[in-house]
Amino acid sequence: MPRKHRTLKNTVYLVFAINLLAVPLRADEPCDEVLTGIDVLVQSEFAPLEGHTIGLITNHTGLDRFGRSTIELLHEAPHVKLAVLFSPEHGLKGVLDARVADSTDPLTGLKVYSLYGETRRPTAEMLAGVDTLVFDIQDIGTRFYTYISTMGLAMEEAARHGLRFVVLDRPNPITGTRVFGPLNDRDGLFTAYHTIPLVHGMTIGELARMFNVERNIGVDLHVVKMEGWRRSMWLDETLLTWVDPSPNMRSLTQATLYPTIGLIEACDLSVGRGTDAPFERFGAPWMDERRLARRLNQLGLRGIRFLPYRFKPTASKHKGQECGGVQILLLDRDAFDPMQTGLSIVRELKGLFPDAFDVDRVNRLLVNEALLDRVKATTEPTNYAQFWADDIGDFETRRKKYLLYK
């Protein structure tokens, strides 16, 4: 193409992009800022914590809307003593994909005890002198993401030692209305702390209220509610800044796909760790990408398409090996059903690659053996939601009393 034609073409694209950015929000689009629990706490001048000695469970996602860390804010708050810090899986900075050691916070000089190392519960020694535990971590709305288990275990220890437990609430980034999948048939696990659907549609504050009652924890629980958040909101409708909650959770799209692709992560395949798009692709050296993509696209799964793809992970499973697989294209997040999609993928992998796909490992994160047996027994497209419809109805009834937002 002649240079002047390329220049004209690029100018047209630029003008089009500028016009897109200039389009005003529709009247029904959210435009008010959502205030998270830490924002509301700051506005109250830390009144709920006045006179208390605090142990803070947090990580790099504990930020207010101006990007100030909850650690810094509590450390500088008048009439509040921040005494000790606790970090979850991935550590205080959210960059580790291994066991986490205790450390010292460079900002405050405080001890940081790991709850993903020698212990997953705060011990009596760690809690010495503390009268209140505060929890401020961004969750992503899937049962087997471990931050909610860290919260539950810490609530148990707070109750055991007579401490208050304060949750600074944050949005469920994939909305508070989308509820999908079976309930787990075992609980008390680090990837299945309580009996809830795999996609639960609750905030961390609401989950804390449920855990406290239904697990008979009985801690002195206080939730600092958000302001301006509605259950129907995706995170990109809140004006809150996205912060990667963990090293391989890098976008809202990945959080949306996580319950689907994370479901098969225990199996002998790569879910894109060690690539630029974890949880947006999966594959293995033994997969035929064209055969798999053709079959998955023939299913007509809502809101999603599959592109044949080859990639070579630089970390985790099949590191340094070329993998055939699929790249997932999320076309309509509201229509997308993560569990129908995930279990359909399991069925097709079992059918197409029976000698290579270790299907029984799916239950490590599904945690519902009867459902997995049903999936293993099906060879044709199946509406899997029928198998948990009654359980979801019961869960919706259970959770009503714990919801804080409309």
Q: What is the CATH number of the domain that holds 172?
A: 3.40.50.12170
pLDDT in tens, 111-129: 999 999 999 999 999 999 9
Give 3's pLDDT tier (boundaries 50, 70, 90).
very low
Q: What's the confidence (pLDDT) of residue 14?
A: 35
Together in a domain, 117 and 223 = yes
Q: What's the confidence (pLDDT) of residue 316?
A: 97
Give 300's pLDDT tier (boundaries 50, 70, 90).
very high
Q: What is the mean pLDDT of the chain?
A: 93
Task: Specify if 87 maps to a domain.
Answer: yes
DSSP-based helix, strand, coil % in the chain, nearest 5 = 35, 15, 50
Q: What's the confidence (pLDDT) of residue 12?
A: 34
Task: Specify if 15 maps to a domain.
Answer: no
**Alpha-carbon 129 to chain mean position:** 32
Question: How far apart are alpha carbons 199 and 211 in whole angstroms?
Answer: 16
Strands 81-87 and 304-311: unpaired
- Phi, psi angle pair for 167, to nearest 5°: -105, 125
- Edge-to-edge strand order for the sheet containing 220-224? 103-104, 111-114, 81-87, 53-58, 132-136, 164-168, 220-224
Residue 232 parent element (H or E): none
- DSSP three-state, residue 187: coil
> Cα–Cα distances in Å, from 320 out to 143, 277, 278, 285?
30, 16, 15, 11
Residue among 206, 242, 224 at smallest CA distance from 74: 224
Q: Which of 199, 227, 245 is the last residue of a domain?
A: 245
Question: How far apart are alpha carbons 151 and 135 in whole angstroms?
Answer: 7
Region of poorest pLDDT, from 9-18, 84-93, 269-278: 9-18
Q: What's the confidence (pLDDT) of residue 402?
A: 98
What is the percentage of the chain residues whose pLDDT exceeds 70? 92
Together in a domain, 232 and 257 = no
| Res. 343: pLDDT tops 70 | yes
Together in a domain, 147 and 214 = yes
pLDDT in tens, 192-207: 999 999 999 999 999 9
Stretch 82-94: mean pLDDT = 97
Strands 164-168 and 220-224: parallel
Strands 180-183 and 197-199: antiparallel
Residue among 60, 66, 13 at smallest CA distance from 36: 66
Task: Specify if 385 maps to a domain.
Answer: no
Cα angle 286-291-295, degrees, rounded to a multiple of 5: 125
Together in a domain, 61 and 173 = yes
Residue 16 contacts by C-beta under 8 Å, 6 or more apart in sequence? none
Burial of 127 (0-12, 13-18, 19+ CB in 10 A): buried
User: Domain range spanning residue 337?
Assistant: 252-367
Residue 29 parent element (H or E): none
| Res. 1: pLDDT tops 90 | no
Q: What's the confidence (pLDDT) of residue 111?
A: 98
Task: Specify if 4 maps to a domain.
Answer: no
pLDDT in tens, 18-57: 333 333 444 445 446 899 999 999 999 999 999 999 999 9
Together in a domain, 259 and 345 = yes
Together in a domain, 81 and 97 = yes
Together in a domain, 171 and 44 = yes
Q: What's the confidence (pLDDT) of residue 10?
A: 39
Q: Which of 221, 245, 269 is the last residue of a domain?
A: 245
The pTM score is: 0.92
| Res. 286: pLDDT tops 80 | yes
Task: Specify if 184 maps to a domain.
Answer: yes
Together in a domain, 89 and 212 = yes
Question: How far apart are alpha carbons 262 and 232 in whole angstroms?
Answer: 24
Q: What's the confidence (pLDDT) of residue 15?
A: 33
Number of domains in the chain: 2
Question: How far apart are alpha carbons 286 and 93 in whole angstroms?
Answer: 36
Question: How far apart are alpha carbons 11 and 13 in whole angstroms?
Answer: 5
Task: Specify if 374 maps to a domain.
Answer: no
Together in a domain, 176 and 320 = no
Task: Specify if 388 maps to a domain.
Answer: no
Together in a domain, 219 and 321 = no
Together in a domain, 222 and 277 = no
CATH of the domain at 344: 3.90.1150.140
Taking only Cα atoms into account, the Rg of the chain, rounded to an integer number of angstroms, comes to 23
Residue 183 contacts by C-beta under 8 Å, 6 or more apart in sequence? 195, 196, 197, 368, 388, 391, 395
Task: Specify if 90 maps to a domain.
Answer: yes
Together in a domain, 182 and 283 = no
Residue 20 contacts by C-beta under 8 Å, 6 or more apart in sequence? none
Q: Which of 201, 225, 245 is the last residue of a domain?
A: 245
